């Protein structure tokens, strides 16, 4: 998605070499709502050949992106995995564990109420970043616990220099990334995969 690459070039802030890319001016802190709608349409186009019954993401950064995708798919039900089991999650839950790249690899559990994910559903997973793939693996595990099927994963930005995308594709997961980064550094900026 060329417009996304341009926004990353112009507004993205890189910390270190192949470490952190901050896109918080338009994607995951301050949000450009119209642009999120365009991202949603891009996911709809990429997965137009799939039946999708439900969209699944993880809080917090994935929610607004998945909302745009939900609208583009005709307002599909959107569920997000919570990082804390709070008192307002009643009943049984599906649970999996994530080891976050951006949170010092400190593992945490994610939860989805069994009320909102059902056997036989075809689920599209949406997220902002793909690095090592831990969050996606955890979401896939939750879908499988529910007896549902993952039709694919829509990723806004994939760090292709990290193993997550390649591992997931080798496992047979359809991963569609709108921008794939080959390398990045404060000196050279972002280099996109062809």
pLDDT in tens, 165-180: 999 999 999 999 999 9
Whole-structure pTM value: 0.92
pLDDT in tens, 112-164: 999 999 999 999 999 999 999 999 999 999 999 999 999 999 999 999 999 99
Question: What residues contact 62, with CB distance under 8 A and at least 6 apart?
Answer: 80, 126, 127, 128
90 pLDDT above the threshold of 80: no
pLDDT in tens, 12-47: 999 878 788 999 989 888 889 999 999 999 999 999
Question: What residues contact 114, with CB distance under 8 A and at least 6 apart?
Answer: 91, 92, 93, 94, 146
Within the chain, residue ranges assigned H as helices are 2-11, 33-46, 61-72, 134-145, 164-170
Question: What residues contact 55, with CB distance under 8 A and at least 6 apart?
Answer: 66, 69, 70, 73, 76, 77, 78, 79, 123, 124, 125, 126
Read off the DSSP letter of residue 82. Answer: B
CA angle 21, 112, 76 (to 5 degrees): 80
């Amino acid at each position: 998605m060329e417009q996304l690459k341009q926004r990353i070039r112009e507004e993205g802030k890189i910390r270190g070499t192949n470490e952190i890319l901050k896109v918080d001016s338009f994607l995951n802190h301050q949000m450009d709502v119209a642009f999120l709608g365009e991202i949603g349409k891009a996911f709809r186009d990429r997965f137009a050949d799939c039946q999708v019954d439900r969209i699944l993401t993880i809080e917090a950064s994935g929610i607004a992106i998945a909302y745009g995708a939900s609208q583009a798919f005709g307002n599909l039900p959107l569920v997000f995995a919570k990082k804390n089991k709070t008192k307002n999650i009643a009943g049984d839950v599906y649970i999996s564990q994530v080891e976050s790249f951006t949170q010092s690899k400190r593992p945490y559990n994610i939860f989805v109420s069994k009320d909102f994910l059902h056997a036989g559903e075809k689920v599209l997973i949406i997220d902002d970043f793909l690095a090592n793939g831990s969050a996606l693996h955890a979401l896939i595990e939750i879908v499988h616990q529910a007896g549902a099927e993952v039709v694919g994963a829509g990723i806004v930005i994939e760090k292709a220099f990290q193993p997550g995308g390649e591992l997931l594709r080798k496992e047979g997961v359809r991963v569609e990334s709108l921008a794939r980064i080959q390398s990045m550094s404060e000196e050279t900026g972002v280099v996109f995969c062809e």
